[in-house]
Amino acid sequence: MAGKTLYDKLWDAHEVKRRDDGSSLIYIDRHIIHEVTSPQAFEGLRLASRKPWRIDTNIATPDHNVPTTPERKGGIEAIADEVSRLQVQTLDENCDEYGIVEFKMNDERQGIVHVISPEQGATLPGMTVVCGDSHTSTHGAFGALAHGIGTSEVEHVLATQCLVAKKMKNMLVRVEGQLPAGVTAKDIVLAVIGKIGTAGGNGHAMEFAGSAIRELSMEGRMTICNMSIEAGARVGLVATDATTIAYVEGRPYAPKGEQWKLAVEAWKDLVSDDDAVFDTVVELDASQIKPQVSWGTSPEMVLAVDQRVPDPAAEADLIKRGSIERALKYMGLSANQAITDIRLDRVFIGSCTNSRIEDLRAAAEIAKGRKVAASVKQAIVVPGSGLVKAQAEREGLDKIFLEAGFEWREPGCSMCLAMNPDRLESGEHCASTSNRNFEGRQGAGGRTHLVSPAMAAAAAVTGHFIDVRELIQGSAA
Ligand SMILES: CC(C)[C@H](C(=O)O)[C@@H](O)C(=O)O
Ligand code: SF4
């Protein structure tokens, strides 16, 4: 019999019952909660006279709706939008009522759900992790089985600690070779999506492997798994190794003492067996990847920075031609325009894809000693959590950004999506380190270009896209 993939192992360890219709009941170890997808779930519990079944598996924080300006220190009343305020308040009330651990808006541990749980050690190798949020795939970076769920499933998990799920197929994305300097995890995942498309991973759990992935920090692995959902795979995975274990050790929720030793021993098995068989295999050569920039209205509409946006006339497939035409129109770009000719109105460094300490360091390295271009209206840096913010401040990164003319904000989802005051105005182009560039994602009529933190900082200081490596060489000279 063939060996098992990491996904097979995680699945087998959590399958409670297989049903005749091919679906299964799986056990959930960690449930993360935010204010947008939980209110109806709690309400449903209440209507059914149920209570959360295993309180200590839940961890909550408000992130999507919170303002990121200093006024928020004034508390919930400082949230101007009524719906936003109500969602945050409802989360607080539900967590208080049921005794669920919540890092409230002004708690230093607050932040984006997918940043805070790993940071606290609440995401551990071998776990099943769910959250009413599609980017829960992020947590797969630890060798955990993690994916987003809908609001009715949030209720189900709260009530039963189980989820009805169907086993997916196995996909391997192998990235071998040395990543060039200045090219990052974000560029790897954008290149993967550019290659396989946003439906490429449909129905699969996507494991990322190969020497380029092994070389990445946990921050980089999280960036990659975060965007597996943009490649169509609800689950992204990276095998557990020494990098994972070093990251987890000593974090508040990580096991301690004898338990830690036992855990580390058990986690050694969280790899795909050598003879495991994958349904689909995709291979990339890391040394060939260049800094990526999305030009269109889907993450698969992405190119290397030295390329030109497509010409619809050159596309034979009529459906594809139509979608290129629509995207160019929405984005205000002309056929064959060089990516480096795209000028930016705003720059956003943040989101659950790229708001961890390593991301901020990479952006600060480029911002250091430079100034945000006069033509850029606003450049904001939004740390993924209060703890990331504090660490960045200890390292002096806030000063580098402020001196360069960036704004330094409080943690939250911010400009990643238009659910809080940080938004684009219609027609504006934004270099954004987030993960989605759909029409209106950052504000009605807004034009999002997905890039790495270093590329976003480079765009901020030059006013247009530029291969960040030119600035790295420039500063070294
Ligand atoms: C609001 C939430 C349900 C949504 C998601 O599921 O991903 C959001 O986080 C997003 O990034 O679009
Ligand atoms: S940062 Fe963006 S992608 Fe991540 S959870 Fe928030 S809204 Fe969703």
Average pLDDT score, the chain: 97
- Binding-site residues for [4Fe-4S] cluster, in ranges, read 352, 413, 416
Instruction: Give the tens place of pLDDT for each residue, 345-391.
Output: 999 999 999 999 999 999 999 999 999 999 999 999 999 999 999 99
List strand residue ranges (DSSP E) for 417-457, in order.
Answer: 429-432, 447-450
From the CA of 147, the nearest ligand is 1
Q: How far is CA 109 from CA 236, 273, 322, in A?
A: 25, 37, 46
Distinct helix (H) and strand (E) counts, the chain: 16, 19
d(CA 44, CA 156): 9
pLDDT at 474 over 90: no
Using a 6 Å cutoff on CB, does residue 64 contact ligand 1? Answer: yes
Instruction: Give the tens place of pLDDT for each residue, 256-307.
Output: 999 999 999 999 999 999 999 999 999 999 999 999 999 999 999 999 999 9
d(CA 211, CA 83): 46
User: What's the mean pLDDT in 168-187?
Assistant: 98
**Nearest ligand 2 atom to alpha carbon 414:** 1
| 351 alpha carbon – ligand 2 mean position (Å) | 6
pLDDT at 475 over 80: no
From the CA of 416, the nearest ligand is 2
Using a 6 Å cutoff on CB, does residue 442 contact ligand 1? Answer: no
| 64 alpha carbon – ligand 2 mean position (Å) | 7
User: What's the mean pLDDT in 460-474?
Assistant: 92
Enter the pTM of the model. 0.98
Using a 6 Å cutoff on CB, does residue 36 contact ligand 1? Answer: yes
Instruction: Give the tens place of pLDDT for each residue, 52-95.
Output: 999 999 999 999 999 999 999 999 999 999 999 999 999 999 99
ipTM for the whole predicted complex goes beyond 0.95: yes
Using a 6 Å cutoff on CB, does residue 441 contact ligand 1? Answer: no
d(CA 287, CA 23): 41
| 48 alpha carbon – ligand 2 mean position (Å) | 30
Instruction: Give the tens place of pLDDT for each residue, 112-151.
Output: 999 999 999 999 999 999 999 999 999 999 999 999 999 9
